[in-house]
Chain A
Amino acid sequence: MRHLINITDLTVEEIEELVTLGEAMRARPQDWRETQRGRILGTLFFEPSTRTRLSFESAMLSLGGSVLGFASADSSSTSKGESLQDTIRTVSSYCDIIAMRHPKEGAPIAARMTSNVPVINAGDGGHNHPTQTLTDLMTIRREKGTFEGLTIGLCGDLKFGRTVHSLVLAMSRYAGTRFVFISPPELRLPGYLLEELREKGIPYEEVERMEDVLPQLDILYMTRVQRERFFNEADYVRLKDTYILTPDKLALAGEGLRVLHPLPRVNEISPKVDDDPRAVYFDQVRNGRYIRMALITKLLEENP
């Protein structure tokens, strides 16, 4: 059974195929309108999410399939004390593929063990979020034409930002990638990821000021400081506005820079930046629907 738990479950060739398929779906969505008729996607969201859940549902509906599920743990049997593995065992009898978001890290691995259908990790705590990464990758290839030789700045909450972790793992497989990690000391990238970069000999630097590194970046990946990951509200309040991208700061960057953000944003990108041609985060949202259509299609083809 093929699942998507971590972005590295996919080879670089498979990512290439998925992005190409996503592009084809974006170009001519009408060609795919009926391809998954009769198939059901289960959306199991044990943690609230608007964007990711709706993008999965939109993707499945765009393929002619149907959707069932729940949008919070309160409306599932978890509130009655049912284990995750039992919930998955049950729901996988009702659908052909599952997209699951869960607040606990590693939950999709537990889910995979008892599922009869493919499980897609739609975010597990502060750990991984591979379909956001596929969205990011599709956006990067659309904008830069390649995955190779790029200097990627990741800014904000690098400690709890699961989209950051998945993107770092994904981009670390391409030749010529260089990372610049921009964060306060409290929100640095986890040690295990830095260790992995060192082992692979991938160059990176950690800085605290965004302004110093903007001119050298091809991609600036902005993130929100995630309130729900903090145990202490005071820490969140102190750190939440550390980085705000404004037109003045963007003026320091080259014309080739592209600004991505997994959204939702809070304060970290001024709305005045939205009209700059280098700001591609709303187009990125659009890509999210097509790359999820491609992923659902691939997993259902491999697990008919």
Chain B
Amino acid sequence: MRPVYLHGSAVSTTWRDASRSLTDLIFECVRTALGTAGISAADVGATVLAAHDLVDGRGLTSMVTAPAAATYLKDETRLGDDGALAFVLGDARVRSGSVDTCLVAAWGRASEGPIDEIAHALFDPFTARPLALTEIAVSGMRAARCLGDFPGYGRWRGAAAARRGVRPADPSRVPATAWPLRAGELPVWADVVAAVVLGSQPGPVRVGGVGMSTEPYELGDRDLTGLTALRTASAQALTDAGVDAASIDVLELDGLTLFDEALAAEAVGAAARGDGMSLLANSPRVNAGGGSAAGYCAPAMGLVRVARAAERLRNATTSQVGLATGASVVAAQVQAAVVLEGA
């Protein structure tokens, strides 16, 4: 297997920019990512995309949107799953030697569709939809459990929320809350595109290792605060890279709300059980750009976290190691973890 390097990346976060269609947003972000990698569309050997039909409001979205991601007469596939999972598949394409350069892109435009209703449609029509469940509601249940079990969550939630930056005034950008979540702990909906260029030639960031795991669909079958899939995925990624959790300098953790991010910090081993919120409040290592409050729309977010981690490694003055995670829909049923190593 060959080593894989991250050559370029781009993230665009906008809101209701009427001057741009969805395909315009994808085209511009992908072009920027290719630019940072110093290559043209012609150099791309394969493309792996992540997008959801229902978020995009297009019955088979990649039919209309894939060509905006430099796929013309190319080897291309699309996941209806989180962007970090697409990154893992893109990494495999280069690692195996099947292509030398692979573009990975993911997007979601929250301003075009009814995000809360779409999240409701994720749930079982027999057992959960009649109960008005959304993913925010699941985060609310996670938060309630944390506040009940761990005193640190109550103590540090205010300070951790304050680090997430100023919340936009537009009420349509924040979902209706579910107790005990507070407004500053919720995601801020955005029109998000992320793109990453992977290659076999040495580049500024190396992909050290990857991992992935899956939880049951039924919420009652899961350990809602233990994030079993993320524990497994990050342990695999760390083992694959030959590093331990303590040596991670840069953490970019995907979570819908502040509480999901705090639980993710525990699951990857960056904080002890019950100390995740304290880490978010006090450590500059985690989600330096504000996490889900800096703009959120599935299924782009795992790839956003990878791109943000890569940026931070590129900008670091010393050689550092980063860990990025991505969570799928239905309240983080599938999780992927990626270890990145700066040059």
Q: Do A and B come from one complex?
A: no
Residues of chain B touching chain A, judged by Cβ–Cβ distance below 8 Å, are: none
A residues near B (Cβ < 8 Å) are none
